[in-house]
Amino acid sequence: MKPVINESGIEIKPLYGEADVAASGGEAMIGQPGEYPFTRGIHPLMYRKQPFTMRQYTGFGNAADTNKRFHYLIENGQTGLNVAFDLPTQCGLDSDDPAAEGEVGRVGMAVDTLRDFETAFDGVDLERITVSLTINGAAAVLIAMYLAMAEKRGYDIARLRGTAQNDILKEFIGRGTWVYPVEPSIRLVGDTIEYCARHAPKYSPVSVCGYHIRESGADPAQEMAYAFCIAKAYADDVIRRGLPVDEFAGRLSFNFNCFGAIFEQVAKFRAGRSLWAKIMKEQYGATKPGSMWVRMIAGGGGGGLTYEQPELNIVRGAYYALICALAGTQTMALCCYDEAYTIPSEYAQRISLRTMQMLLEEMGLSDTVDPLGGSYYIETLTNQMRSRMQAIMAEVDAQGGIVRLVAEGAIQAKVSAQAYRRQRDIEEGRFRKVGVNCYRTEDKTPQMEFHPYREDDARAQCAALAKVRAGRDAARVQSALARVEADARSSANLMPAIMDAVKAYASVGEITKVLVGVFGRYREPVRF
């Protein structure tokens, strides 16, 4: 019999029994849902009480276009929003910056000032629909904009819920929308966590992402281990400021990938949940259950989808959704079948949304908590995945810690070498992908509805920005930006100054330029 080794390097047996569970560490870490160590879920009743939130990643063109798509998704039963920003916004550039040419509004919504946020969320009930901002390098500014926009509309930010991705360490590994060097970037993340803990305690200022590390070539155990190393780096920064762990850890959230083998993935989530709880309790002395929770969004898995026979991605998406529901995710977002080609069409978005709704309405996935719990195979694999993650985290610490390894480009080099080996394995048929290296068809690719890009929209965005600039109180903007600069040079928390600046309609680019003047820019270490 040919041996089967899963992607995380664990040998898979043809059959599992009680002895395997015992040999892998036993049942000590299983527990009950809603109880430490939360292997079976962070809530006692999970989806029986509240089904997962459905939050498709959406945004393109300008704020008005995106607002229309938001309303379309909400009308179709989506229960949260997940905002995509264009690359200039993500990199902290204004739409009229020469470096933004050709990229304004292309892969997400263009945001220059608070005015764009006012338009984007017009008519969206921010208490009923929680909003997640997929923003990293420019996160402090965009979080400030979101809070300012909500405040302006009369919401009490002390009660406002929502999430920002704001995980800069993983941007250095994959995704690449960094702005400042590593150390000041971590400080900014710490500033947002500290500020939210004090002023917007229901808001989740960070969603630590294993997702993109996996996309960059990490295996599933590394994905989760590296994400936890990164989450610890942020927690350490905040604790150094004197904030007790229980005052902020409950608002840390996570974003994980899910492509790969079904049971390995489910075990990964269960293992990760218990490992994080153990870390928070034993290493950080957390006492509130919420501080030990892995609250997460999952469901994407772009790296598992294929360019070939793209309609098969609808089926893959359904399996990925199943994995995430079996694993007890809080929020789900599926990649659309056309994403290897274009920004998803309305039609493709709706198929993804219906896929998730089907699990809840037709397939009984919300009936019972942790339905795979107690399976010999799943419990063994959960123990084994947890051990793998612990070993990887120990290795990172022994090599100098995640911050150093990322700053030096060591993690990047490691995962990209793995991505290369995987690509070779696919091309040479050792790692099977249906439609790619087996069961290929020579049919022509089905017609795709390509998302249009209009140069005129970019010009209109620049004109709108010019109008905001002309209409605002210039002296107020100047003094707000001067305060941002002064606070950046001191050790003050930057968020109050950034809040002032966005309320004065200072732009993303203007605020970022001031910070770059103080912090400098990241220089990418290129290592192979």
Partner 1 sequence: MKRIKVVLAKPGLDGHDQGAKVVARALMDAGFEVIYTGLRQTPEAIARIALDEDANVIALSSMAGSHVPICRKLKALLEQAGLSDKLWIIGGNLPERDHAELHALGFKGIFPSSSRLEDIVNFIRENAP
Instruction: Examine residue 64 and tell whether it contacts partner 1 (CB under 8 A).
Output: no
DSSP 332: E
| For partner 1, the closer CB: 125 or 442 | 442
Residue 101 binds partner 1, judged by CB under 8 A:
yes
CA angle 246, 269, 296 (to 5 degrees): 50
CA distance 63 to 340: 24
Residues 363-402 binding partner 1 (CB under 8 A) are none
Q: Which is nearer to partner 1, 225 or 305 (CB)?
A: 305
Contact window for partner 1 (CB under 8 A) among 22-30, 33-41, 171-179, 386-394: 171-179
| Out of 171, 219, 379, 510, the residue judged to bind partner 1 by CB under 8 A | 171
Q: Does 91 bind partner 1 (CB under 8 A)?
A: yes
Q: Smaller CB distance to partner 1: residue 307 or 347? A: 307
Only one of the segments 84-92, 276-284, 320-328, 489-497 lies at the binding site for partner 1 (rule: CB under 8 A); that segment is 84-92
Among positions 175, 187, 232, 295, the unique one binding partner 1 when judged by CB under 8 A: 175
Q: How far is the CB of 93 from partner 1 (least distance, A)?
A: 8
Separation of alpha carbons 316 and 300, rounded Å: 10
Out of 177, 380, 383, 512, name the contact with partner 1 by CB under 8 A: 177
Restricted to residues 215-244, the positions that interact with partner 1 (CB under 8 A) are: 215-217
**Binding to partner 1 by residue 436, rule CB under 8 A?**
yes
Residue of 463, 507, 467 lying closest to 94 (CA atoms): 507
CA 404, chain centre distance (Å):
22
DSSP 8-state symbol, 261: -
What the block records as the tokens of 258 is 């899910």
Least Å distance, CB 442 to partner 1, is: 13
Q: Does the protein bind partner 1 through residue 15 (CB under 8 A)? A: no
Pairing mode of beta strands 80-84, 11-12? unpaired
Closer to partner 1 by Cβ: residue 417 or 486: 417
Asked if residue 90 binds partner 1 (CB under 8 A), the reply is: yes
431 binds partner 1 (CB under 8 A): no
Q: Is 432 in the site for partner 1 (CB under 8 A)?
A: no
Q: Which residues contact 109 (CB under 8 A, 6 or more apart)?
A: 59, 60, 61, 62, 63, 65, 66, 83, 84, 85, 86, 89, 116, 120
Spatial contact of 105 and 458, defined as CB atoms under 8 Å apart: yes
Site for partner 1 in 440-499 (CB under 8 A): 450, 453
Report the site for partner 1 in 103-122 (rule: CB under 8 A).
103, 106-107
Among 442, 447, 456, 528, binds partner 1 (CB under 8 A): 528
Q: Half-sphere exposure (CA, 13 Å, Cβ side) for 494?
A: 32
Residues in binding contact with partner 1, number by CB under 8 A: 39
What is residue 314's three-state secondary structure? helix
Judged by CB under 8 A, the residue of 93, 168, 182, 462 near partner 1 is: 93
CB closer to partner 1, 111 vs 196: 111
- Binding to partner 1 by residue 417, rule CB under 8 A? yes
Measured between alpha carbons, how far is 301 from 189 in angstroms, rounded to an integer? Answer: 25
Q: For the CB of residue 137, give the shortest distance to partner 1 in the complex, in Å.
A: 9
Is 38 in contact with 274 (CB distance < 8 Å)?
yes
Contact pattern from residue 304 through residue 323 relative to partner 1, giving x for each residue in contact according to CB under 8 A and a dash for the rest: --xxx---------------
Q: Which is nearer to partner 1, 306 or 387 (CB)?
A: 306
Residues in 327-346 at the binding interface with partner 1, rule: CB under 8 A: 340-342
Q: How far is CA 521 from CA 181, 358, 513, in A?
A: 6, 46, 10
C-beta of 278 vs 422, nearer to partner 1 = 422
Q: Rounded to the nearest 5 degrees, what angle is found at the Cα of 257, between the Cα atoms of 191 and 324?
A: 110
- Return the H-helix or E-strand segment holding 163: strand 162-164
Least separation in angstroms between CB 419 and partner 1: 5
Phi, psi of 127 (to 5 degrees): -90, -35
**Core vs surface per residue 158-196: b (16+ CB within 10 A) or e:** eebebbbbbbbbbbbbbbbbbbbebebbbbbbbbbbbbb
* Alpha carbons 440 and 357: distance in angstroms, whole number: 31
43 vs 175, beta carbon nearer partner 1: 175
Cβ 215 vs Cβ 303: under 8 Å: yes
- Number of separate helices (H) and strands (E) present in the chain: 20, 12
DSSP calls for 48-83: GTSPPEE--EE--SSHHHHHHHHHHHHHTT--EEEE
Q: Binding residue for partner 1 (CB under 8 A) from 416, 461, 493, 512? A: 416
Q: Does 62 bind partner 1 (CB under 8 A)?
A: no
Instruction: Tell whether residue 423 is a contact of partner 1 (CB under 8 A).
Output: yes
CA distance 101 to 26: 58
Task: Establish if 208 lies at the interface with partner 1 (CB under 8 A).
Answer: no
Residue 520 engages partner 1 in binding (rule: CB under 8 A): no
Binds partner 1 by CB under 8 A, chosen from 4, 19, 99, 466? 99
- Please give the residue ranges that form the binding site for partner 1 (CB under 8 A): 87-88, 90-91, 93, 99-103, 106-107, 171, 174-177, 215-217, 306-308, 340-342, 416-417, 419-420, 423-424, 427, 436, 450, 453, 524, 526, 528
